[in-house]
C-alpha cells in the first residue's frame, strides 16, 4: 500500500514508518517537525519508497494514498501545554483534514487516540466502555479533550459518510527515538540517571503507570491495519503490567547503574493517580499480546539514550 503517516517523524511515527517500509509498503511521512525530528527519519532518506512532506496537520491537504495513519499531535505534557490552542487545532482541525482527505479518496483511516481520554479514572483498569473522568477546563484539557473530540469526529464520519475507521487508545509507550527533552517519565528518568541528576518523582510516587515498548505498540497497529472484520474500535493498546512511579524510578537506576538519588516534588494538577489498560478487547478481537518485558525494553531504550544524551 501507499501509506500516509501523519506525525511520521515523531517517536512512534518514525518507528512505524520503519516497520511499514520493512514490510514492503510505500510511506509518505507528513510532519511539521514541531516535536518530530529529522534525525528520526534520516535512515529512510535514500529509500525510494519513502517521502517526507513538511506540512502542518491543521492546514487542509490533498495527498494521494491507500491508507492513512494519524499520529500528528504533540503527546508529552510540556509540549502540548506549551501552545494549548495549537494542540487543540492539531487534534480537531487536524482530524477534519485527515477525514476529508480520506472521504475524497474513499480510503481507511487508523487514528491513534490516547489513554488520556479516560482522564483521572475512577474505574481500574480502564476498559473501552468506560467514558472517563476528564476535567474540561484544566491545563491538560487541550490534549485530553482534543483527543476525545477527534474520536467524535472519526465516528461521525463513519456514521454519516461510511468512512472506514480504526481507533486505537495508546497507553504509555517508550523506546528508541524518544526525544531527550520529551518530558515523559521514561525519558526523564533515563536522561537524569545517565547525567547523574536526581530522578524527579511527582507526589509520593505511589501513582501507577503501565509502560509499553514501542515494537509491541507497532505490532498492535499492524494487526489492526490487517484486520478486515469491520472492527472500528476504540481499542486499548499498551502493556498492562503496572508499576508505581517510585518503583519504576528504582528500576531505571538499577538498569543504568546510576548513583542518582530520587527526589520527590509536588504533584501537578489533574495528574492521573492510576493508569492501566484493560486489554481484553484487543486480545479477543485482534489477537494482540505485548511481548517485550519492561526490563528488556528499558535496556534497549537506555542503550539508545547513551548514544544521544549529552553528559
Annotated catalytic residues are: 143
Q: Are 113 and 169 in contact (CB under 8 A)?
A: yes
Rounded to whole angstroms, the Cα distance separating 295 from 309 reads 20
Query: What distance lies between CA 83 and its chain's CA centroid?
Result: 19
State the Cα–Cα distance between residues 246 and 240, nearest whole angstrom.
Answer: 17
- Omega into 125 within 30° of 0, i.e. cis? yes
End-to-end alpha carbon distance in the chain = 42
- Residues 6 or more apart in contact with residue 302 via CB below 8 angstroms: 190, 194, 252, 255, 256
Let me know: does 119 contact 132? Beta carbons within 8 Å.
Answer: yes
**Contact, 121 vs 133, CB < 8 A?**
yes
Nearest to 97 by CA among 66, 55, 136: 55
| Cβ-contact 134, 144 below 8 angstroms | yes
3-class SS of residue 115: helix
117 touches 156 (CB < 8 A): no
41, 46, 97, 129 from 142: Cα distances, Å: 28, 37, 18, 22
Element at 278 (helix H, strand E):
none
Rounded Cα distance between 146 and 150, Å, is: 6
Amino acid at each position: 500500500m501507499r501509506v500516509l503517516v501523519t506525525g511520521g517523524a515523531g517517536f512512534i511515527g518514525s518507528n512505524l514508518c520503519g516497520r511499514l517500509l520493512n514490510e514492503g509498503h510505500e510511506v509518505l511521512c507528513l510532519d511539521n517537525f514541531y516535536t518530530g525530528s529529522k534525525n528520526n527519519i534520516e535512515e529512510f532518506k535514500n529509500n525510494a519508497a519513502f517521502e517526507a512532506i513538511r506540512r502542518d496537520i491543521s492546514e487542509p491537504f490533498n495527498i494521494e494514498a491507500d491508507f492513512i495513519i494519524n499520529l500528528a499531535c504533540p503527546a508529552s505534557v510540556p509540549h502540548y501545554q506549551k501552545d494549548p490552542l495549537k494542540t487543540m487545532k492539531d487534534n480537531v482541525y487536524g482530524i477534519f483534514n485527515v477525514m476529508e482527505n480520506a472521504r475524497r479518496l474513499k480510503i481507511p483511516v487508523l487514528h491513534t487516540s490516547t489513554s488520556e481520554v479516560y482522564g483521572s479514572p475512577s474505574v481500574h483498569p480502564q476498559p473501552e466502555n468506560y467514558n472517563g473522568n476528564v476535567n474540561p477546563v484544566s491545563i491538560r484539557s487541550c490534549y485530553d479533550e482534543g483527543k476525545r473530540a477527534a474520536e467524535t469526529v472519526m465516528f461521525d464520519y463513519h456514521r454519516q459518510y461510511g468512512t472506514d475507521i480504526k481507533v486505537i487508545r495508546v497507553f504509555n509507550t517508550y523506546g528508541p527515538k524518544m526525544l531527550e527533552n520529551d518530558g515523559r517519565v521514561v525519558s526523564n528518568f533515563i536522561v537524569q540517571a545517565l547525567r547523574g541528576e536526581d530522578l524527579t518523582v511527582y507526589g509520593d510516587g505511589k501513582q501507577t503507570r503501565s509502560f509499553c515498548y514501542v515494537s509491541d505498540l507497532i505490532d498492535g497497529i499492524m494487526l489492526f491495519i490487517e484486520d478486515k472484520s469491520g472492527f472500528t474500535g476504540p481499542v486499548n493498546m499498551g502493556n498492562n503490567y503496572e508499576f508505581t512511579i517510585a518503583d519504576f524510578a528504582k528500576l531505571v537506576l538499577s538498569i543504568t547503574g546510576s548513583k542518582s538519588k530520587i527526589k520527590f516534588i509536588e504533584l501537578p494538577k489533574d495528574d492521573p493517580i492510576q493508569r492501566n489498560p484493560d486489554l481484553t478487547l484487543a486480545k479477543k478481537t485482534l489477537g494482540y499480546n505485548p511481548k517485550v518485558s519492561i526490563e528488556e525494553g528499558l535496556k534497549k531504550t537506555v542503550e539508545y539514550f547513551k548514544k544521544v544524551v549529552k553528559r
